[in-house]
């Protein structure tokens, strides 16, 4: 069972209060993009064993979206951060590097 800290309202929310929103930091390809880019946006997802970045919504709480960085094997949560960003903040990356040296996720490391 996950407990994620909601950065919007500041409560530690149980997984059952949250709605999962899939993978984080996708680039939304629009008109004019190539078929490969559009396929990437629409269908291709990471399925890592280890560090992962996700979107969550505090559905049965404040109702706001946020991002979470966690480990899919140990369920360790590295941190949560606001939704209004296109990449994880340095602080979160540093924390992951502390715990999982040499981690990679898409083009991030």
Of 12 and 76, CB closest to another protein? 12
Q: How many Å separate Cα 12 from the centre of its chain?
A: 17
Tell me how far, at minimum, the Cβ of 101 lies from another protein, in Å.
33
Of 11 and 44, CB closest to another protein? 11
Dihedral sign, Cα of residue 85, residue 71, residue 55, residue 35: positive
Of 1 and 101, CB closest to another protein? 1
Terminal alpha carbon distance of the chain: 26
Tell me how far, at minimum, the Cβ of 62 lies from another protein, in Å.
4
Of 1 and 34, CB closest to another protein? 1
Cα distance between residue 54 and residue 39, in whole Å: 19
Tell me how far, at minimum, the Cβ of 46 lies from another protein, in Å.
28
Contacting positions for another protein (CB under 8 A): 8-14, 16-17, 59-64
Cα distance between residue 6 and residue 58, in whole Å: 7
Reported as type and span, the H/E element at residue 37 is helix 35-42
Tell me how far, at minimum, the Cβ of 71 lies from another protein, in Å.
22
């Amino acid at each position: 069972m996950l407990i994620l800290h909601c950065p919007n309202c500041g409560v530690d929310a149980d997984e059952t209060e949250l709605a999962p929103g899939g993978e984080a930091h996708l680039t939304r390809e629009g008109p004019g993009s190539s078929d490969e880019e559009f396929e990437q946006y629409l269908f291709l997802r990471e399925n890592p064993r280890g560090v992962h970045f996700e979107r969550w919504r505090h559905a049965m709480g404040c109702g706001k979206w946020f991002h979470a960085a966690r480990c899919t094997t140990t369920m360790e949560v590295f941190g949560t951060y606001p939704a209004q960003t296109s990449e994880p903040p340095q602080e979160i990356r540093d924390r992951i590097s502390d715990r999982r040296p040499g981690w990679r996720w898409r083009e991030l490391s």
